[in-house]
């Protein structure tokens, strides 16, 4: 229970700009120290950042049960669990943290990009190039940490849900309901009473007010009854859309289609250009 309370304190404090939690995982101590020097030398480094060192992927995964990392630098070639295997487990726990591979010899593979790394750093790159990549990772993590929290409840328990963890938010009965991916349910200590029933994570704010709060953080408003997180958008036509992990097909209201598609296009342009948010 103490770990749960610690996590909830951390989540509730994100709105007050707690320092970033950064993990460096490499089975070579010298390489860890070298990378940490690059991180500490970054223009995005701040004194309230916490840098955690790990010499094995298994140890990193254990700590993720109680620490929500903002960014992870992960070596690929390690004894025991290699970086690709560790990355797959990391993504089961957190699909939004900034993941950067840091390697000496391994070339990117199809498996590498399935886990959506933000950057691929070569250990033998020039100091200038490594510093540039580290700066970009920390900048992205800082940008992600600015995403607001929503005050929610499940039963009598209060939650502070990070907007970036939300798949979509809908009007439901007399309140507003949040949908999270399965990975996030575990992170927020939410369990299903029945497999076929989704837990009712309630928010008291009106949907239109929530959208005004979240629209600059990659959310779209395709219909009066729901808003979506573009990060989880997996298919879209002019009239319908589908969200990752959700079987339903969502309609796009004709009255909202123009603005929705403009914001969707702006989001994906900014994402692939390396920008943090879609304005």
Residues 137 and 189 in one domain: no
Tell me how far apart the alpha carbons of residues 255 and 246 are, in angstroms, rounded to a whole number: 24
The residue among 106, 124, 145 that closes a domain is: 145
Kindly state whether residue 4 falls inside one of the protein's structural domains. Answer: no
pLDDT at 41: 92
With a CB cutoff of 8 Å and minimum separation 6, the contacts of 196 are: none
Query: Is the residue at 236 inside a domain?
Result: yes
106 band by pLDDT with thresholds 50, 70 and 90: low
How many domains, the chain? Answer: 2
pLDDT tens readout for residues 45-90: 988 899 999 999 999 999 988 888 999 999 988 988 988 899 999 9
Per cent of the chain over pLDDT 70 is 86
**pLDDT tens readout for residues 30-56:** 999 999 999 999 999 988 899 999 999
In a domain, residue 1? The reply is: no
The pLDDT tens digits of the residues spanning 188-207 come to: 888 887 666 788 999 999 99
Q: How confident is the model at residue 100, as a pLDDT?
A: 93
- Is there a domain that residue 219 lies in? yes
In a domain, 277, yes or no: no
Do both 47 and 162 map to the same domain? no
- pLDDT tens digits, 4-17: 334 344 444 343 34
Task: Verify that 129 and 153 share a domain, yes or no.
Answer: no
pTM: 0.60
Range of the domain at 170: 149-272
Q: Is 10 within a domain?
A: no
Q: What is the dihedral of CA 120, 124, 125, 131, to 10 degrees?
A: 80
- Answer for the pair 161, 152: CB distance below 8 angstroms, yes or no: yes
CATH code: domain of residue 208: 2.40.50.1020
């Amino acid at each position: 229970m103490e770990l749960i309370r610690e996590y909830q304190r951390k989540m509730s404090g994100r709105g007050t700009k707690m320092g970033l939690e950064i993990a460096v995982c490499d089975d070579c101590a010298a390489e860890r120290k070298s990378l940490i020097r690059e991180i500490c030398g970054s223009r995005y480094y701040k004194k309230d950042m916490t840098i955690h060192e790990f010499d094995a992927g298994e140890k990193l995964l254990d700590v993720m049960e109680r620490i929500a990392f903002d960014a992870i630098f992960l070596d690929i070639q390690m004894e025991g669990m290699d970086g690709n295997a560790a990355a797959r487990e990391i993504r089961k726990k957190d699909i939004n943290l900034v993941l950067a591979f840091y390697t000496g010899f391994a070339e990117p593979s199809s498996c590498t990009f399935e886990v959506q790394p933000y950057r691929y750093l070569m250990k033998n790159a020039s100091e200038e190039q490594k510093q540039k990549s580290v700066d970009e990772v920390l900048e992205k993590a800082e940008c992600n940490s600015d995403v607001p929290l929503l005050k929610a409840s499940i039963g009598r328990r209060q939650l502070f849900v990070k907007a970036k963890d939300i798949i979509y938010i809908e009007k439901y009965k007399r309140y507003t309901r949040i949908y999270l991916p399965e990975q996030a349910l575990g992170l927020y200590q939410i369990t299903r009473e029945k497999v076929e029933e989704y837990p009712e994570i309630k928010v008291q704010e009106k949907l239109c007010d929530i959208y005004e709060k979240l629209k600059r953080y990659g959310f779209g408003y395709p219909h009066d009854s729901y808003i979506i997180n573009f990060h989880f958008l997996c298919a879209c036509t002019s009239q319908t859309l589908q969200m990752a992990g959700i079987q339903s097909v969502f309609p796009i209201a004709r009255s909202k289609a123009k603005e929705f598609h403009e914001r969707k296009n702006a989001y994906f342009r900014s994402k692939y250009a390396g920008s943090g948010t879609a304005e």
